[in-house]
Structure 1
């Protein structure tokens, strides 16, 4: 509810648009990283620092999201969201004029602060505005829209990057367009009807309810981003050098993620105790296919599509499982904790693959090993949740 009025499609659409901002930060500048590495070649530590420009915002979100959740539970969600969007534009465009790699890295830290506010508020407000199947629909759409946005941002970053590595950073100013639409459309939810001044203290965080979803979200984040980050390296490793082919393969994998997320609306009745294992099993199968594909481009692509379809199911399932049973006064902190766990998984994903590569000896076997772990996690989740009631999932 928005100030006593029923929320509708305009509110849902603008919140989904806001949810794309963290995806933009993770994908837009990926195509220009080689150009940045060349530009800053004389800067000490550039070889390690330039690739980390992608992961720095995710690490900041992982650290700050729980605090952002506490803030949005205690203060006005709308105000925090609007401030976050303005900050995102200001700090996101700083590399347009900064000429120090270290200063750019610092600006990426600030982007992470803005992201933590934006994604926590957008997801919390979706949970506030909608309930039951409508909430499931919008959480599913959130995964769909962000997956499709990733495909668009990859292509847009590459196209703009052809004119110089700084050019893609102009896109961060697009958050001001979303800001302009949110001003008339988004209002502070009514909540439970008590005046904010009457809320002396927030209820304690329901750790028993949120701990399991957060633990699963860390591993889910690692698996979710494994294909996104590693597919281009796998294709390069098997001899695919054409940028257009690699881009097409990445786009198809992103579309598979979107398709998996779209299916969530119809599959939600199966509940988290079945959907979580299903998502991890599909991801495991896809990763193992990539492992045994050898130098076959077609087999690698099939594996990436299957794994991405699984992660597309996982994302809205994990999120809905985490927030469906939380009250209004718990939802901001619960959402923040879940976002923190998922973004921590995003940051850890390349590090986990590096560690597994050290064990397995090569990238494709490392992804296969991650698939084996995914299968084990699916089995543990199924055994743990099979006898539990999941009525909160559709509340």
Structure 2
């Protein structure tokens, strides 16, 4: 359902955004990839360092997921604030805070202090991820918006590939050293300040550069709720490999942080391949249900291979295949969310589905670890998740075929 904007809300003619400006915005998504990638390979070493702390087996994975919990709690509110005061000032401040808080574990020697610093990282990450995605929706529309949504995940996955290798290499010098990578957003903050224009004027109306079409979608709370529910499920699934792959590799006898970093990097390569397939093939040819069905099918297949693996090669292959599926599902979610939101509620809506996705990230290890205790190993749990995802994919394909037949009849 679509409505015409009234004259009071009409925006100036859209300002043309250059690829360089888009690249700056796309680059800010590294803030969402550093936690599970650059420090993933050193989680076992961190656990050994704090071995005397009660419950350390659960606390160390929370070092990865704590920012996701805070992001989940605050992203919607921060998105609403950016709708009112403008996105640029929020984004610049968040990049600086991210770097300061993210490098704190370099000198902190308490796991609880480190967890507190990770909460501040989550606050900054909530702002960066919500506002940068909203900017993509503000600057672009239609197929161009879909492709930039997929490129956002491509850039994140490419950086994850680099950070995985970096984390594995730096981890050889100690578990603290990979946290130095958190200083990188300091390079992006001045670029945002100089080259990015805001899309909301001082009076609160859309500014030049905002893609506000004559036929904008009406804000639909029920649709947003559905998108958020799926985003939560996507978060649960996506975080399984980043948190648990290193422990599974250690169980199979792999001790080198370099080899563990390589396995994480190949998972990132899979995600890159999936995002490219979505942006240049699936987005323009398939309905949303079909996009999610394909992504879920591939994710589940990767989990099945991981669960059955008995050596480094097969486990890494399964993680890479799982990455391909995640690379399809993630941009499909962002693209669907952005095109469902009107400009006036874009920050709020983007914050909502980003928040629930990251709450899913946080809840993932809290759900997996009790299952590991019940089933006996991570391998059995992940294989079970793979079977579940294949069943969901089959139901989605069946529903899509039934809907198509009804339209043709």
**TM-score (normalised: structure 2):** 0.85
- Higher mean alpha-carbon deviation, 218-227 vs 370-379, is at 370-379
Check conservation: 1:205, 1:333, Cα contact below 8 A. no
- Asked if structure 2 preserves the Cα contact closer than 8 Å seen for 1:3 and 1:188, the reply is no
Stretch of structure 1 that moved more, 70-79 or 161-170: 161-170
C-alpha contact (below 8 Å) 1:40/1:101 kept by paired residues? yes
1:92 Cα deviation from its structure 2 partner: 1.9
Query: What displacement does 1:360 show?
Result: 3.4
The equivalences for 1:39-50 within 5 A come to 39-42=49-52, 46-50=56-60
For the structure 1 residues 67 and 362, does the alpha-carbon distance in structure 2 shift closer, same or farther, using more than 3 Å as the test?
Answer: same
Which residue matches 1:225?
Answer: 239
Indicate yes or no: 2:123 matched with 1:113: yes
1:12 to 19, 22, 38: 22
- Closer/same/farther in 2, CA of residues 105 and 292 from structure 1, 3 Å limit: closer
Return the alpha-carbon distance in structure 2 between the equivalents of residues 2 and 315 of structure 1. Answer: 32
Counterpart-to-counterpart distance in 1, 2:179 and 2:381: 33
1:274 corresponds to: 290
Secondary structure of the 1:149 match is helix
Distance, in Å, in 2 between the alignment partners of 1:120 and 1:185 is: 19
Counterpart in 2 of 1:333? 348
Where 1:196 maps in the other structure, the secondary structure is: coil
Helix, strand or coil: the match of 2:98?
helix
Compute the displacement of 1:290 (Å): 2.5
Asked whether the equivalents of residues 273 and 386 of structure 1 are also in contact (C-alpha less than 8 Å), the reply is no
Q: Is the 8 A contact 2:165 2:258 kept in 1?
A: no
Aligned residues: 382
Deviation at 1:338, TM superposition (A): 0.8
Distance 1:318 1:242, change over 3 A: same
The equivalent residue for 1:75 is 85
Q: Distance in 1 between matches of 2:38 and 2:346?
A: 30
- Residue 271 of structure 2 corresponds to residue 248 of structure 1: no
Contact 1:139–1:320 (CA under 8 A) maintained in structure 2: yes
Change in Cα spacing, 1:2 to 1:159, as seen in structure 2 (3 Å) is: farther
Alpha-carbon distance in 2 for matches of 1:2, 1:15: 22
Tell me how far 1:43 sits from its aligned partner: 5.0
Q: 1:36–1:3: structure 2 CA closer, same or farther, 3 Å change rule?
A: farther
In 2, Cα distance between equivalents of 1:49 and 1:219? 23
| Selected match of 2:322 from 307, 315, 318 | 307
Deviations 1:115-174 (A, max 9, x none): 000100001101111111111111111111111211211222333344444333332222
| RMSD over aligned Cα atoms | 2.8
Alignment of 1:128-277 (within 5 A): 128-189=138-199, 195-196=203-204, 206-265=220-279, 266-269=281-284, 270-277=286-293
Distance 1:33 1:368, change over 3 A: closer
Which residue of the other structure, out of 118, 126, 135, is the alignment partner of 1:125? 135
- Distance (Å, rounded) in 1 between the aligned partners of 2:400 and 2:194: 42
Please state how far the C-alpha of 1:227 moved relative to its aligned partner: 2.3
Is the 1:127–1:323 contact (alpha carbons within 8 Å) kept by the matching residues of 2?
Answer: yes
Q: Find the aligned partners of 1:377 and 1:355 in 2 and give their Cα distance.
A: 23
CA shift at 1:302, angstroms? 3.1
Distance of 2:136 and 2:300 partners within structure 1: 30
Alpha-carbon separation, structure 1, partners of 2:117 and 2:293: 39
Rounded Cα–Cα distance in structure 2 between residues aligned with 1:368 and 1:156: 29
**What is residue 4 of structure 2 aligned with on the other side?**
none
Judge conservation of contact 1:218–1:345 (CA < 8 Å) in 2: yes
Shift of residue 70 of structure 1? 1.2
CA 1:386–1:331 in structure 2 vs 1: closer, same or farther (change >3 Å)?
A: farther
Higher mean alpha-carbon deviation, 224-233 vs 159-168, is at 159-168
**Structure 2: runs of 5+ lacking an equivalent:** 1-10, 207-216, 405-409
Q: Is the 1:22–1:119 contact (alpha carbons within 8 Å) kept by the matching residues of 2? A: yes
TM-score of the two chains, using structure 1 as the length reference: 0.87
Query: Per-residue deviation at 1:359?
Result: 4.3
Offset, 1:325: 1.8
Ranges in structure 1 where 5+ consecutive residues have no aligned partner: 390-395
Structure 2 CA distance for aligned equivalents of residues 283 and 305 of structure 1 = 10
